[in-house]
A and B are shown apart, each in its own frame.
Chain A
Amino acid sequence: MIQDYLFFTGINVLLAWSVYIILMSGSLSFANGGFMALGAYATGYLTTTYGLDLWLVIPPVALLAALFGALVSLPALRTRGVYLILVTIGISICMGVGIESSEALGGVKGMGGLVGTEPWHVFVLVGVVGLFLLIVSYTPLQRILDAVREDEYVARSLGINTTYVKVVSFGAGAALAATSGALYAHYLIFIRPEHFNVMMSLFMVLYVILGGVNNLWGAALGATIMTLAPEFIRGMAEWRPTVFGLIIILLLLVRPQGLLAFRTRTARAGTRVAKWVQGKLVPGGAAS
């Protein structure tokens, strides 16, 4: 059904952004499948066992995920590069194993009876998060994040508390992944731990890398293409993973920097340079 494709595209765009938000401060997270599972199962448990309203439980669960994300990022951020990646993969695996061994969450049998998400809920969230990221990309925050991502040590020497910046961005990414997980679960009706395994985390990262890591559009485009492209060969179900793999290889060969590699300037001097040179501007903030 076309509605399903649009829904899954929207969810994957949100998940790609959850990875992108963490990547903005320089960390590559393979833990977002775990954060997604946390959101899905925590809200699922509360809505099915206690009959609570989905919209009532999403905010506290998202907050919980943010705290959890921030907490696990603290030791994780002490490690760098490939080690950080391994730590985040470990978080994803632990989350899966934890759910599988939990009776209350249905274990390997899964959890059912989850309803309440309409596709438009996801589209609204895509709009809200996209608008927020778009606004951020023109603010001083974007520059500070770019600085932390490009050279953490120099950023620190300028007075930026890089640990704080990274922990908050980890928490924000975790909250978004958990919210997406909650919406996803309550659309699927029935969820099992393998819906949120390490492959899920890997796909989210791939959407961002294939689409481009420097702007919010890349992540969205990557998620959209990688969700919809395999559907074109729906008739040959057994070939879908192969086609998916071929697309990844092809894109990385042709455009290793991602489909949309540009970075948005947070500020431009433009015509003010000429005015400055002609001596027409003498700001009160001048340093001399």
Chain B
Amino acid sequence: MKMALSLTNVCKRFGGVTALDGVSFDVAHGELLGLVGPNGAGKSVLVNVVSGFYPLTTGSILVDGRDVTYAPPHHFGRLGIARTFQNIRLFKRMSVLENVLVAFPRHVRSPFGSILRWNRRAEIDHALALLSQMRLVEKADQSAGSLAYGEARRLEIARALATEPKLLLLDEPAAGMNDRETDELRADISDLRSMLDAIVLIEHNVEFLRGLSDRLVVLDYGRMIADGVPDIVLKIPAVVEAYLGAAEDA
């Protein structure tokens, strides 16, 4: 069976530092995978590799059965991989609406052809639909730079959805949010599952993932130390030691 995402023995070295060391796991269609690990475990590096930001040192990446290991960076987005960023990276000079519109595949694929081929009303309505899904529709004409922290995070998700992705990578989407915002975000992500083939959710906070993710992959020092159902994975001594112990001390 073809997997939504399949990593085989992925290694990433920066000079002498091995950030990812032989990571292999699959994400099945319809799955919401939680990727956890302490700071510096290589979670963000993994997202950067899977979204084409960093070329990997060795190993291979298959998306829906297609080998994208050596694809140029912009192909990852076109093949249906969308992502958000741990440190929010919106186009701040644009409006909220424009941040969503800019990602529509029709124009992204032929930027210069877009001068002749655009449909303002239908596109704006489509963008408003995505914004309304992320509870931002009333802010459509505001500047993206004026959004509050939680709103900016939601706009990043809306922009990612605008690329019509199959696989969505969320890099610590709840970071910096208060409890109420975190609960709302969890409900939002739950709602997204029907729109997407698969979701990979990177999170520092295990409680956020408990009950939300189908499966957990645990990274520590660039190596995968566990892969399985959350309740079982979180009881593995190595995981408790590497991750939970460290988190509780902090």
Contact = CB atoms under 8 A, between A and B. Distances in A.
A283 B85 contact: no
Given A160-B74, A273-B141, A144 B111 contact: yes
Interface stretch (A91-99, A233-241, A260-268): A260-268
Given A147-B102, A159-B163, A263-B93, A287 B107 contact: no
B180 to A, nearest CB: 22
Interface range on chain A: under 10, 10 to 19, 20 to 34, or 35 or more?
35 or more
B14 interface: no
Given A150-B91, A168-B112, A288-B133, A269 B124 contact: yes
Contacts of A265: 95, 98, 141
A185 B115 CA distance: 32
B102 A268 contact: no
Given A135-B115, A156-B74, A269-B140, A140 B91 contact: no
Interface stretch (B5-13, B37-45, B76-84, B233-241): B76-84
A154 interface: yes
B115 A146 contact: no
A285 interface: yes
Residue in A136, A140, A151 with the greatest tally of chain B CB atoms within 10 Å: A140
Interface residues of B, number: 56
A275 B9 CA distance: 51
A161 interface: yes
B98 A143 contact: yes
Nearest to A162: B74
Nearest to A263: B93
Contacts of A146: 91, 93-94, 102
B132 A276 contact: yes
A144 B115 contact: no
B103 A158 contact: yes
A141 interface: yes
A272 interface: yes
Most buried by A among B101, B102, B121, B194: B102
B133 A268 contact: no
A154 B91 contact: yes
B101 A272 contact: no
A145 B93 CA distance: 12
23 contacts: A139-B118, A140-B101, A141-B111, A144-B102, A144-B108, A147-B91, A153-B53, A158-B77, A158-B103, A159-B75, A160-B77, A161-B74, A263-B93, A266-B101, A268-B95, A269-B140, A270-B141, A273-B128, A273-B138, A283-B122, A284-B122, A285-B122, A288-B129
Contact of B126 (A136, A147, A287): A287
A286 interface: yes
A146 B132 CA distance: 24
A285 B91 contact: no
